């Protein structure tokens, strides 16, 4: 079953150190756990690449003894949520392959748009694939190119020129460790210091946890090599612009992370403030849908002057609702996950603030929970515009049919979720709140215009669909 929020993709990490790195990688994956809960893995270099991985959360997938026994001063890690490839141990990462050059390990956050085309072409040449993951295509292309060039950096540049789509990757090539970011910078990636070396991570908050220091974001189209004493930057010349995913600031990234120069918490607060200006309502209390709507709700309260209160308590030890097999189970699961504070809600006009609506099923149930707690009115306010188009770049929103906004006006969506009123932030308001120019953001799921060619879809600034092949 599909989630009611844009589902996280994956988290990646890489480190070069003068000390053993396996524990640091494990802690980094715990910090990045919100980006993927299906599988986790660690690979380190020690006279060849050694890897451990498993299904579930990092502390479930990676046993303490296995982590402690994994010795090496170079390593990469990965937490996964599958957007391409099924959820099983064969698709868990890092992917490790052996070559004449040496072992190669790769961890990938994102989605390769031309993966199917590349795979079909390679199969015709006799190539065989073990997994259904687009990440395997990347590692196979890389290993093949290194066999020809013998030059890891040159082969990374060649790989980046072949791949179309979104990718932030951490890669070990024998005893060297790299991080690369796609030429449009869809998915986040940054570099920083640790106590004993240098590292790359999907989010800056990792360096806080490791007692290190965030340095900067990896530039779109950049290759970075981590060494124990420095970071080496290699420019590829492939970047022609930027298309940072707006959902990183709206929902995906941790609020205490800094993504492409913008602190996520501050952006979400500004989103709430702008939302209050654009979608005001007479009400008594602003209640966030925890945890994703909290920062937005704080901003909404600050701008509107309406009191903020935690009116819904979250049980953090309940499975995600979208994996439940039956609708009745999912309804019960929402009740297990959220419990209303009746003293906050009873006889009040409530503003429920959330980050986004995908299908609308969960928000409808939450509206009913708030009504049953005695709310006089329930007004829903949303920190992203209506989602109208699929994501092809790493978020699990794949078909228009799943969206609440497909074929419905905002008033009709409001009736569907049984709210007294429904208000979304505008695209313009969202862009202003993020603080990057619209041209530097990917807004395709909102505008139905994408920053790069996708078969059957419109490219931004293109006037008519039939003018593009």
Instruction: Give the H or E element holding residue 226.
Output: strand 222-227
Q: What stretches of 73-125 adopt beta strand conformation (E)? A: 74-80, 95-98, 103-112
Q: Which residues contact 295 (CB under 8 A, 6 or more apart)?
A: 255, 264, 265, 268, 269, 271, 272
Q: Which residues contact 127 (CB under 8 A, 6 or more apart)?
A: 140
Q: Which of 10, 190, 258, 442 is an active site residue?
A: 10
445 is catalytic: no
| Cα–Cα separations (whole angstroms), residue 394 to 7, 112, 159, 370 | 9, 8, 19, 33
3-state secondary structure 13-74: EEEEECCCCHHHHHHHHHHCHHHCCCEEEEEEECCCEEEEEEECCHHHHCCHHHHHHCCCCE
Task: Bin 184: left if φ > 0, else alpha if -120 < ψ < 50, else beta.
Answer: alpha
Between the CA atoms of 359, 363, 367 and 368, what dihedral angle is there, to the nearest 10 degrees? 70
Q: What CA–CA distance (Å, rounded) separates 392 from 395?
A: 7
- 144 within 8 A of 91, measured Cβ to Cβ: no
Q: What CA–CA distance (Å, rounded) separates 52 from 270?
A: 41
- 71 within 8 A of 20, measured Cβ to Cβ: yes
Q: What CA–CA distance (Å, rounded) separates 84 from 207?
A: 29
Q: What CA–CA distance (Å, rounded) separates 342 from 68?
A: 47
Nearest C-alpha neighbor of 275 from the set 388, 382, 358, 431? 382
SS3 for 113?
coil
Q: What CA–CA distance (Å, rounded) separates 85 from 134?
A: 7
- Provide DSSP, 245-289: ETHIIIIIS-TT-EETTEEHHHHHHHHHHHHHHHS----SEEEE-
Q: What CA–CA distance (Å, rounded) separates 26 from 263?
A: 24
Q: What CA–CA distance (Å, rounded) separates 280 from 303?
A: 10
- 13 within 8 A of 21, measured Cβ to Cβ: no
User: What are the residue numbers of the active site?
Assistant: 10
């Amino acid at each position: 079953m599909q989630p009611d929020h844009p589902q996280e993709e994956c988290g990646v990490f890489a480190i070069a150190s003068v000390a053993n790195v396996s524990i640091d990688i494990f802690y980094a994956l715990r910090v990045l756990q919100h980006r993927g809960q299906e599988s986790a893995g660690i690979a380190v270099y020690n006279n060849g690449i050694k890897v451990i991985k498993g299904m579930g959360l990092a502390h479930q997938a990676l046993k303490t003894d296995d982590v402690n026994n994994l010795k090496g001063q170079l390593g990469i890690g990965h937490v996964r949520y599958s957007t391409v490839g099924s959820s099983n141990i064969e698709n868990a990462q890092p992917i490790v392959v052996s070559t004449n050059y040496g072992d190669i390990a790769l961890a990938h956050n994102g989605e390769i748009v031309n993966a199917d085309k590349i795979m079909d072409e390679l199969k015709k040449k006799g190539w065989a694939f073990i997994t259904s993951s687009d990440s395997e295509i990347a590692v196979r292309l890389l290993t093949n190119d290194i066999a020809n060039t013998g030059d890891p950096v040159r082969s990374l540049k060649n790989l980046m020129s072949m791949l179309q789509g979104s990718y932030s990757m951490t890669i070990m090539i024998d005893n060297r460790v790299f991080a690369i970011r796609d030429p449009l910078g869809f998915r986040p990636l940054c570099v920083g210091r640790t106590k004993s070396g240098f590292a790359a991570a999907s989010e800056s908050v990792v360096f806080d946890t490791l007692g290190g220091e965030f340095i900067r974001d990896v530039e779109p189209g950049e290759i970075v090599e981590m060494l124990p004493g420095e970071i080496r930057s290699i420019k590829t010349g492939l970047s022609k612009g930027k298309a940072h995913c707006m959902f990183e600031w709206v929902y995906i990234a941790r609020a205490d992370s800094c993504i492409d120069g913008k602190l996520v918490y501050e952006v979400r607060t500004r989103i709430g403030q702008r939302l209050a200006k654009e979608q005001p309502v007479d009400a008594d209390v602003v209640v966030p849908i925890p945890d994703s709507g909290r920062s937005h709700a704080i901003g909404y309260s600050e701008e509107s002057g309406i009191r903020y209160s935690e009116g819904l308590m979250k049980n953090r030890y309940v499975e995600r609702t979208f994996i439940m097999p039956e609708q009745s189970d999912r309804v019960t699961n929402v009740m297990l996950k959220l419990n209303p504070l009746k003293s906050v809600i009873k006889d009040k006009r409530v503003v429920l603030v959330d980050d986004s609506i995908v299908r609308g099923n969960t928000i409808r149930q939450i509206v009913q929970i708030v009504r049953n707690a005695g709310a006089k009115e329930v007004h829903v306010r949303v920190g992203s515009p209506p989602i109208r188009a699929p994501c092809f770049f790493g978020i699990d929103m794949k078909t228009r049919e799943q969206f609440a906004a497909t074929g419905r006006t905002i008033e009709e969506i409001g009736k569907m979720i049984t709210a007294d009123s429904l208000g979304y932030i505008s695209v313009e308001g969202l862009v202003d709140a993020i603080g990057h120019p619209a041209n530097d953001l990917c807004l395709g799921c909102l505008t139905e215009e994408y920053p790069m060619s996708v078969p059957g879809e419109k490219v931004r600034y293109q006037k008519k669909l039939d003018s593009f092949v």
